[in-house]
Amino acid sequence: RCEYSLDAGPWTPLEAMDGVIDSERERLVVRLDRLSSGEHVLVLRAVDSAGNAGLAKVVLR
């Protein structure tokens, strides 16, 4: 599963561009409609079928 958190908010599932997360590499969509001005922290999390997780953080300005 893949999900994101914006500004330490709840985790939100990500959508695969092709509609299904079923490959080692996927293109995912993050929709941030109506983002207020200022700095925001976006954290991305991917978890594989064995429960291993990877995180990435992006600062949006």
Q: For position 1, what pLDDT does the model report?
A: 85
Sequence-separated (6 or more) residues with CB below 8 Å from residue 18: 26, 27
pTM: 0.80
For 1-60, what is each residue's pLDDT tens digit? 899 999 999 999 998 888 888 888 888 888 888 899 999 999 999 998 899 999 999 999
Q: For position 24, what pLDDT does the model report?
A: 80
The tally of domains found in the chain comes to 1
Angstrom distance (rounded) from CA 44 to CA 2: 7
Q: Which domain holds residue 48?
A: 2-60
